[in-house]
Amino acid sequence: MSGLWWPPFVAACVALVMWPLFGAVTALVMFAAFLLLLLWRQAVNLRALARWLQSPPGTEVPEGPGMWGEVFNILHQSGRVQLNSQHQLSAALERFQRAAEAIPDGIVMLNETGQIEWCNPVAETQFGIGNHHDHGQPISYLVRQAQFTDYLVAQNYAEPLVMKSARNANLTLSIQLVPFGDRQKLLLSRDITQLERVETMRRDFIANVSHELRTPLTVVGGFLEGFADADQINMQQSRRHFQLMLDQTQRMQGLIEDLLTLSRLESGHERMPEEPVDVLEMIQTLHKEALSLSAGRHQVRMEIHSEKSLLGSERELRSAFGNLVSNAVRYTPDGGEIVLRWETRGSEAMFCVQDSGIGIEPQHIGRLTERFYRVDRSRSRETGGTGLGLSIVKHILTRHQGRLEISSEAGKGSTFCACFPARRVISG
């Protein structure tokens, strides 16, 4: 028999025994008194139970007789299990929020009506919303861009939407809505600015290469068509045409060689040799080549202020220094002066090429190392430049932990300095 019914059963038995001895009235009075006492004890235990349930977690379990003790113990165990489950759920939720906050992409949780329930810091920055003060606000009220609104209305979430950030015009976002749960959605946003920039560079690169190759191919093809259609060939005139075709062919060959060099440098697969490079001997060789390229049109001189050498790739440094020297010869008018200078500044070593050429306006200096960027395209074609020289110089210096410093003034000349850190400088 259950312990809950045991006291009333005993009271009923006692009342039945007392009935013939003391009479029915006395037996019923005693039975009723016992039931009242039992009800009062139940009320006391119920009150203790109510107070304990309303008390903070961790409060000491009240003591109770018989079944009440078991009830208190069962509830206590259930409470502990529930509390542990709540702690685990809270910890899991906190871990999820920390993980979501650490994700480099933006995350916005929306309810079935498109209202914001939660967002991570990246989304706050990208969309200009706040996790607290914009909670419950419709996302369409806060991101007021026509293409975003159309994307929400179309409800075709298979493909992401690419759009500019309303807060930062230089920021390009890839946005996608992902339905989940009970008609809820996740708004995911990713910064693809760098990918867009790379794609733009790729398109520009293809366009520039095509443009650079079109002119020499047109010249060569035109002359060849003329020769094919001519009944007789004037050898004296043909020699001049052959020379033009040879010049254009050499120009294409130079462009291809520069492209291959740039591709090799950008790939980074080839390990750079760490060898001592005799810079003084290299500068003397470059000086002779500059005199030959100038053909007496410029005054070319050397200024050696250091006996130091460099640690790196002789082939790459020779290419970088040679590009700086050849550019100075190409862009310096006849009668100008070109100085090749090797010096140290503090712990750094610097190879500088100074010219008295046409100079460069300030707005162009920051873009000179971009592939195919030219201040004056017509002049570049006349001088035979490929538009890749300074890009090659930049990549070579980067591989040597160096940098390119450019100072120029329009109409007064320019100075290009290849600067190397102390770890690359060795005694001559």
Question: Which of 410, 419, 261, 423 lies closest to 350 in space, CA to CA?
Answer: 419
CATH of domain 196-267: 1.10.287.130
294, 329 Cβ separation under 8 angstroms: yes
103-191 maps to CATH 3.30.450.20: yes
Q: Which residues of the chain have pLDDT under 70?
A: 1-12, 14-19, 21-23, 27, 29, 31, 34-35, 38, 52-53, 57-62, 64-70, 72, 76, 79, 204-208, 211-212, 215, 231-237, 254, 258, 262, 266-270, 374-386, 428
pLDDT of residue 1: 46
pLDDT of residue 47: 77
Instruction: Please spell the DSSP secondary structure of 55-75, one letter per residue.
Output: SPTTPPPPP-STHHHHHHHHH
pLDDT of residue 367: 81
Pairing mode of beta strands 337-345, 299-304: parallel
> Distance between CA 190 and CA 176 in Å, rounded?
9
> Distance between CA 159 and CA 162 in Å, rounded?
10
Question: Which of 412, 417, 391 lies closest to 402 in space, CA to CA?
Answer: 417
Distances (CA, A) of 289 to 294, 333, 344, 393: 8, 18, 24, 18
pTM (predicted TM-score): 0.54
> Distance between CA 46 and CA 40 in Å, rounded?
10
At 181, which amino acid appears? G
At 381, which amino acid appears? R
Q: Is residue 128 classed as helix, strand or coil in its secondary structure?
A: coil
- b/e burial code for range 160-196 (CB count within 10 A of at least 16 → b): bbebebbeeeebbbbbebeeeeeeebebbbbbbeeee
275-426 maps to CATH 3.40.50.300: no
Average pLDDT of the chain to the nearest whole number:
80
Sign, CA dihedral 258-259-265-271, equals negative
Residues 6+ apart with CB under 8 A from 62: 48, 49, 51, 52, 72
pLDDT of residue 5: 56
